[in-house]
Amino acid sequence: MKTLIIVESPTKAKTIENMLGMEYVVRPCIGHVRDLPKSTMGVDIEHDFAPHYITIRGKGEVIKVLKDEAKKADQILLASDPDREGEAIAWHLQQYLRMDNEQCRIRFNEITKAAIKKAVENPQPIDMHKVEAQQARRILDRLVGYQISPLLWKKVKKGLSAGRVQSVAVRLICDREKEINDFDPEEYWIVYAILQSDKGNLVVKLVKIDNKKADLPNEEAVNQLKQRLLNQSYQVSSVSKKDRVRHPLPPFTTSVMQQEASRRLAMRAKKTMQTAQQLYEGIQVDGVVTGLISYMRTDSTRVSEEAQQQARDYVRDRYGAMFLPAKPRVYSSKKGAVQDAHEAIRPTSVQRTPQALKPYLSVPQYKLYKLIWERFVASQMADAIYEVTTIEVTAGGCLFRASGSNVKFPGYTQVYNDGKIEQDQEDLSKVVPVHEGDILPLLSLDDSQHFTQPPPRFSEASLIKTLEELGIGRPSTYAPIIDTILSRFYVVREEKLLYPTELGFLVVDLMKEYFPDIINVEFTASMENNLDKIEEGEADWVQVLREFYEPFAVTLAHAEQEMEKVVIEPEVSDQVCEKCGKPMVYRMGRYGRFLACSGFPDCRNTKAIIVPTNVKCLACGGDIVERKSRSGRIFYGCVNYPACRYVAWDLPIEEKCPLCGTQLTSKTAKNGEKVIICPNMDCPSRASQKSKTKKPAKTKNK
């Protein structure tokens, strides 16, 4: 008797195969195996939205393996993830492999021997309601994306796209930009009183004037107030101490991991996911490949009891019982959108400390692993307790206040510092020991002018956070969404922030006018509502699609009719075509902006955009210019290329390397310091750098 079990991920397949006996073969399907075709709509709208599925191009080898193993097996069990997409994957496999066993579906939420054995012994039928919900979602996205996009090609510009998720993402960025532009900064002033005490100066902030919230809109108001406050007596009206408890944060979901990796490690979402994938697939540790973290695409903070116990044991052994809460912490997911197929992101063994693994990991792997490990261990630790001291001082009908907190018990912060600790310590220094009733001499009144700030622009991380809160997108798509809106040039990234382009504004405005429902942030939530009903068997998937599509078809026809063709006038550059003398204009190509002759198609002259730098090439005296490599990375070269072949990754400075004579470059290190580097890879200064950083890491390996 031989049983074939199909799971989604190859890593998972290996793990499970090792847990089961010889009579089981476990193979991966690597995600979906069938989908709507790429080149056509693939939905028969006239006939109840019947989908036309084909096997996904490029999946041939995977599918062949599954087919062969299926032939050899006496029983096939489908163990794709226990969520909506997973159910659909199971159904497609069942269809494709022409399986005849009704009870073919097994589900488990954690990869432990017990959970898998139990599931294997209890196969169930495929949940067709779930499959239908997925199908409705898939078809809706196809109808929207594949009908609005071509409209944009016709009316605006070829190659554009629109969709339920990406269009809302761009909208958020455009709306925020508008908010920033329309923002009216309001002036306000802050007043501090510096008081003398025998234990040092006490700085208190003005909070109330005549029992009302202090509101000082201009300098005049401040000066008036200062007149009133100068010759008053400053009396400490209260000193209170209160304990404040801070709970640890739950272990990582995908989106929170991306946010934290961005904030603390300056890692982009894509890089974070690549690195997490490496940790998940496994690293060679003493000749054995070991998966170091649980699955990295999850929306759940759930943790298996086994892992929870491990963490508790570790905390007790390593930090003592004081640091262990009486009961294990359970993190429940409040939001309805959570599909909970996977656990939270956590180390596969807390015994593998970041320090112990350091010799086996690359720098980003180590940093990310450390973040995941610490977040998880801390999530099972005791609360931190702070003592908050608040001092209130009254003078001339005004109330001043200073407060600071002191760590009484570090609890989980011993392991995971959530970034608020330093702030607390700083605040504490302001609080000097004084007593209620003390009258303190006034040293000075300080004031400072401030303006209210507009909301910040979105970063990758904050956009992902917002999308997740709105229930838009899934763990597997957060990072790719950013790529999509960047590659359409709807937005650009500068430093860490996302700025809308004119094209982004244009498309969002058109969408708002002609497809207000689709580009509404609530659209996905209402769709999810309907999908839930389909899953519960309370709604029919065809009916749900019909109710969506009938009005949508009208909207679409109206847009086809009414939308004006947008003529995008290309931006004229200050350069002149050397072939025909006409001005050059900026155009957008497959790989970004470039300069083209405005005489196109009569003159087909094009050239790359060259950004000047103000630095001279020391080899030939030409200007150093900024260019982009094929992969999009910025580098610096001499304008006289190819005659002069000087190139560097970092901005050159006008100084030569004392060792090899190559023009040096300057780079800002992570700590903000400027570092001078010789771009010549063969320069001895490079070799000494390498031996300093590389070799010790390797010798640690023994």
Partner DNA sequence: CAGTGAGCGAGCTTCCGCTTGACTT
Question: Which of 277, 390 has the CB closer to DNA?
Answer: 277
Does 339 help bind DNA (rule: CB under 7 A)? Answer: yes
The distance of closest approach from Cβ of residue 72 to DNA in the complex, given in angstroms and rounded to an integer, is: 22
**Do residues 53 and 46 touch, judged by C-beta distance below 8 A?**
no
Catalytic residue among 295, 319, 369, 646: 295
Name the helix (H) or strand (E) containing 148: helix 128-155
- Candidates 314-322, 359-367, 386-394, 496-504: pick the segment binding DNA (CB under 7 A): 359-367
CB-count burial class (<10 Å; 0-12, 13-18, 19+) for 473: buried
The distance of closest approach from Cβ of residue 83 to DNA in the complex, given in angstroms and rounded to an integer, is: 6
Does 259 help bind DNA (rule: CB under 7 A)? Answer: no
**Do residues 579 and 605 touch, judged by C-beta distance below 8 A?**
yes
- Candidates 213-221, 388-396, 403-411, 640-648: pick the segment binding DNA (CB under 7 A): 640-648
Question: Which of 323, 366 has the CB closer to DNA?
Answer: 366
Smallest CA-to-CA distance from 406 within 238, 240, 243 is with 243
Contact with DNA (CB under 7 A) among 9, 94, 301, 308: 9
The distance of closest approach from Cβ of residue 643 to DNA in the complex, given in angstroms and rounded to an integer, is: 10
Using CA of residue 413, residue 414, residue 420, residue 425, what is the dihedral sign? positive
Contact with DNA (CB under 7 A) among 155, 270, 358, 587: 587
Contact with DNA (CB under 7 A) among 49, 66, 83, 539: 83
Calpha distance 638→645 (Å, rounded) = 7
Question: Which of 125, 159 has the CB closer to DNA?
Answer: 159
The distance of closest approach from Cβ of residue 119 to DNA in the complex, given in angstroms and rounded to an integer, is: 17
- Candidates 46-54, 94-102, 374-382, 630-638: pick the segment binding DNA (CB under 7 A): 630-638
For residue 408, CA distances in Å to 321, 325, 346, 405, 702 come to 16, 16, 29, 9, 41
The distance of closest approach from Cβ of residue 98 to DNA in the complex, given in angstroms and rounded to an integer, is: 21
Per the structure block, which two tokens stand in for 696?
Answer: 């010790």
Does 696 help bind DNA (rule: CB under 7 A)? Answer: no
Using CA of residue 410, residue 416, residue 422, residue 424, what is the dihedral sign? negative
For residue 430, CA distances in Å to 394, 423, 427, 446 come to 17, 12, 6, 15
Question: Which of 243, 517 has the CB closer to DNA?
Answer: 517
* DSSP secondary structure letter of residue 353: -
Contact with DNA (CB under 7 A) among 94, 253, 278, 300: 278
Calpha distance 399→207 (Å, rounded) = 6
Calpha distance 163→142 (Å, rounded) = 9
The distance of closest approach from Cβ of residue 584 to DNA in the complex, given in angstroms and rounded to an integer, is: 9
Here's the x/- map for DNA, 157-176, by CB under 7 A: it reads as -xxxxxxxxxx---------
Please give the residues from 283 up to 322 whose contact with DNA meets the rule CB under 7 A.
Answer: 295, 297
Query: Quick one: three-class SS letters along 640-686?
Result: CCCCCCCEECCEEEEEECCCCCCEEEEEECCCCCEEEECCCCCCHHH
> Which amino acid belongs to residue 23?
E
The distance of closest approach from Cβ of residue 355 to DNA in the complex, given in angstroms and rounded to an integer, is: 17
Does 618 help bind DNA (rule: CB under 7 A)? Answer: no
Contacts of 279 (CB under 8 A, 6+ apart): 291, 292, 293, 296, 365, 368, 369, 372
Per the structure block, which two tokens stand in for 219?
Answer: 């300098």
For residue 359, CA distances in Å to 348, 382, 701 come to 18, 30, 6
Does 109 help bind DNA (rule: CB under 7 A)? Answer: no
- Candidates 35-43, 71-79, 393-401, 531-539: pick the segment binding DNA (CB under 7 A): 35-43
Smallest CA-to-CA distance from 598 within 611, 614, 579 is with 579
**Do residues 456 and 496 touch, judged by C-beta distance below 8 A?**
no
The distance of closest approach from Cβ of residue 249 to DNA in the complex, given in angstroms and rounded to an integer, is: 23
- Candidates 307-315, 362-370, 388-396, 401-409: pick the segment binding DNA (CB under 7 A): 362-370
Does 272 help bind DNA (rule: CB under 7 A)? Answer: no
Contact with DNA (CB under 7 A) among 200, 318, 451, 591: 591
Contact with DNA (CB under 7 A) among 146, 373, 386, 552: 146
Please give the residues from 487 up to 506 whose contact with DNA meets the rule CB under 7 A.
Answer: 488
The distance of closest approach from Cβ of residue 94 to DNA in the complex, given in angstroms and rounded to an integer, is: 16
Does 365 help bind DNA (rule: CB under 7 A)? Answer: yes
Please give the residues from 210 up to 229 whose contact with DNA meets the rule CB under 7 A.
Answer: none
**Do residues 559 and 515 touch, judged by C-beta distance below 8 A?**
yes
The distance of closest approach from Cβ of residue 82 to DNA in the complex, given in angstroms and rounded to an integer, is: 11
Calpha distance 482→255 (Å, rounded) = 13
Smallest CA-to-CA distance from 191 within 401, 467, 503 is with 401
**b/e map of 400-436 (b: 16 or more CB within 10 Å)?**
bebbbbebebbbbbbbbeeeebeebeebbebbbebee
- Candidates 144-152, 285-293, 371-379, 446-454: pick the segment binding DNA (CB under 7 A): 144-152
Question: Which of 28, 410 has the CB closer to DNA?
Answer: 28
Question: Which of 278, 413 has the CB closer to DNA?
Answer: 278
> What is the size of the binding site for DNA (CB under 7 A)?
98
Here's the x/- map for DNA, 517-556, by CB under 7 A: it reads as ----------------------------------------
> Which amino acid belongs to residue 330?
V
Question: Catalytic: 295?
Answer: yes
**Do residues 466 and 172 touch, judged by C-beta distance below 8 A?**
yes
Does 510 help bind DNA (rule: CB under 7 A)? Answer: no
Please give the residues from 644 up to 663 whose contact with DNA meets the rule CB under 7 A.
Answer: 645-649
Active site residues: 295
